Amino acid sequence: MNDVSLSGAGRAQFSAAELLPRVDEQARGVVTRLSQAGHEAYLVGGCVRDLILGRTPKDFDVATSAHPSEIRMLFRNSRLIGRRFRLAHVFFQGGKIVETATFRANPFDEMEDLPEDLLISQDNVFGNAEQDARRRDFTINGLFLDPVAGRVVDYVDGLPDLERRLVRTIGDPEIRLREDPVRILRAAKFAARLGFEIEERTAAAMRAHAGELARCATARLVEEIYRLVHCGAARRAFELLTGLEVLPALLPEVAALHGDAAVGLQTAALLGAYDDARARGYLGSNALPYALLLYPALVARGAENGWLAKTVKQIGDRLRSPKRDRERALQMLELCRELEAQPRQERAARALVRRTAFAESLVLYALWLHASGQSLFAVGEWKAIARSFGVAIEALPGADEAKRHAGRRPRRGGRRPAGGRPQSGKDRGRAGGQR
């Protein structure tokens, strides 16, 4: 189809040719060379969706009828990767990569009787363009763009769903989510990021098969959790997962903490504050998701009985997440408690601001104060203290109030907390405990 009408997705009528000026030059070149060599080739997936929605794609992927060895022969600047399914990375100057994969088919498509266990562990079956589109997860991700002929190819009714602003699985959601339960998390991520709704049958299947997440490779789950938190719409993504009763299957430890309704609301507000920071270009480390999800409970419960360290260990052991992320998250949470306790002595302040996790902990503390409607005065003071000891702190996301106070030079040997009088050691001990 050459012409597309998509008024409901925030665009007036446009032709597919209108998308071409915004296509990455190197990606277009890959498709052109493959086409000139007699192969069928398209830009595929999220880049096509984002181009149609008027968004800027973060990368461009190519699908082609050429087999991996043929791609490698055509592009000297490529390398084959992958064990389960071979594909090519075509490299360009500046570190840019255009991922180029051979059309694949769903291994269950040729079966008359589906197996009881639908979890896909091998998907290295070559196919044609239509099969490749139909094996993808959601209709809005199944669109192809031919930048040579200037046309959008839609085998899966993705264009109508873009217009209706719906996330819908390609095919039966009961089957598609059992084939790959990580699609449950991806559905929430896309709906949150794009401001779409999840189609009714897809949402029902997400709720029904949340328990299947336990069967997924833990590395994929961890990666998707990080993406959910960093996607810029973490608040809505986690609200969707909570509403569809997916969170207890994904992060039972966090869901248990949300049994306290106030903690759940505060966590949502904190995630929203991080979304605002992401919109301004701030990106935290992969320790930040842990810290964001646990900080409100820490404020409500304190750290008595070591529950915080136990909870982080339980999550990390179950998901086999990188130990460095867990340890840094604990350091950040502990540092935030010290930031609130406001040590009086110069030696203590110097040691604190020079700790590795100080800068990101200060960001987390600023996000918490912002989310809970508190003054950011203390953040500005800590920035001034850090500067006085020669520790540079980058601009904090959205902490305009903190900027007004960051220029003040603190008194050496001590400072007054935002509440008034200098703290005694007894006061600091109390502030460091349950609040």
Same domain, 320 and 426: yes
Residue 280 lies in a domain: no
Give the domain-ending residue among 250, 276, 301. Answer: 250
Residue 260 lies in a domain: no
Let me know if 350 is exposed, middle or buried by CB neighbors in 10 A (0-12, 13-18, 19+).
Answer: middle
Residues 235 and 324 in one domain: no
**What percent of the chain is modeled with pLDDT above 70?**
82
Question: Looking at the predicted structure, is the pLDDT value of residue 5 above 90?
Answer: no
Q: How confident is the model at residue 109 (pLDDT cuts 50, 70, 90)?
A: low
**β-bridge mates for residue 154, sequence order:** 143
Q: Are residues 199 and 123 in the same domain?
A: no
Look at residue 11 and tell me whether its pLDDT is greater than 90.
Answer: no
Minimum mean pLDDT range among 81-85, 153-157, 415-419: 415-419
Count: domains in the chain: 3
Q: Which one is catalytic: 59, 180, 260, 276?
A: 59
- At residue 107 the predicted structure's pLDDT band, cuts being 50, 70 and 90, is low
Flag whether 279 is in a domain: no
Return the pLDDT at 396: 64
Across residues 52-64, what is the average pLDDT? 94
Mean pLDDT of 44-59: 94
Tell me if 28 is assigned to some domain: yes
Q: Give me the pLDDT at residue 189, please.
A: 98
pLDDT grade for 67, boundaries at 50, 70 and 90: very high
pLDDT of residue 427: 40
Show which of 140, 164, 188 is a domain's final residue: 164
The CATH number of residue 104's host domain is 3.30.460.10
The mean pLDDT of 211-238, rounded to a whole number, is: 96
pLDDT tens profile 337-354? 999 886 668 888 899 999
Query: What is the predicted pLDDT for the residue at 125?
Result: 82
Q: How far apart are CA 237 and CA 309, in angstroms?
A: 26
Catalytic option among 50, 137, 154, 325 = 137
Domain match, 28 and 170 both: no
Bridge-based pairing state of the strands 41-44 and 143-146: antiparallel
Tell me, letter by letter, the H, E, C secondary structure of the chain.
CCEECCCCCCCCCEEHHHHHHHCCHHHHHHHHHHHHCCCCEEEECHHHHHHHHCCCCCCCEEEECCCHHHHHHHCCCEEEECCCCCEEEEECHHHCEEEEEECECCCCCCCCCCCCCCCCCCCCCECCHHHHHHCCCEHHHCEEEECCCCEEEECCCHHHHHHHCEECECCCHHHHHHHCCHHHHHHHHHHHHHCCEECHHHHHHHHHCHHHHHHCCHHHHHHHHHHHHHCCCHHHHHHHHHHCCCHHHHCHHHHHHCCCHHHHHHHHHHHHHHHHHHHCCCCCCCCHHHHHHHHHHHHHHCCHHHHHHHHHHHHHHHHCCCHHHHHHHHHHHHHHHHHHHCCCCHHHHHHHHCCCCHHHHHHHHHHHHHHCCCCCHHHHHHHHHHHHCCCCCCCCCCCHHHHHHHCCCCCCCCCCCCCCCCCCHHHHHHHCCCC
Task: With a cut of 80, say whether residue 408 has pLDDT above it.
Answer: no
Is a pLDDT exceeding 80 seen at residue 423?
Answer: no
Query: Which residues, in sequence order, are CB contacts of 198 under 8 Å at separation 6+?
Result: 166, 167, 168, 187, 188, 191, 206, 240
Burial environment of residue 2 by CB neighbours within 10 A (0 to 12, 13 to 18, 19 or more) = exposed
In a shared domain, residues 423 and 300: yes
59 labelled catalytic: yes
Is residue 7 located within the same domain as residue 111?
A: yes
Quick one: pLDDT at residue 367? 97
- Residue 171 sits in a domain of what CATH number? 1.10.110.30
Question: Residue range 149-156: average pLDDT?
Answer: 93
User: Does residue 93 sit in the same domain as residue 75?
Assistant: yes
Residues 6 and 148 in one domain: yes
Q: How crowded is residue 8: how many other Cβ atoms within 10 Å of its Cβ?
A: 11
In this structure, are 120 and 171 located in the same domain?
no
Residue 261 lies in a domain: no
Catalytic residue among 50, 61, 154, 275: 61
Does the active-site annotation cover 137? yes
Please tell me whether residues 58 and 130 are part of one structural domain: yes
Determine if residue 429 is left, alpha or beta; phi over 0 gives left, psi from -120 to 50 gives alpha, anything else beta: alpha
5 & 151 share domain: yes
Q: What is the mean pLDDT of the chain?
A: 85
Residue 404 resides in a domain: yes
Q: Are residues 31 and 11 in the same domain?
A: yes
**What is the pLDDT at residue 409?**
41
Whether 423 is in a domain gets the answer yes
Domain containing residue 410: 288-431
Q: Is the pLDDT of residue 395 over 70?
A: no
**Mean pLDDT confidence for 18-28:** 92
pLDDT at 39 over 90: yes
123 is catalytic: no
pLDDT of 247 reads: 97
Q: Which of 250, 275, 303 corresponds to the end of one domain?
A: 250
Q: Kindly state the average pLDDT of the residues 364-374.
A: 96
In a domain, 334, yes or no: yes
> What percent of the chain is predicted at pLDDT more than 90?
71
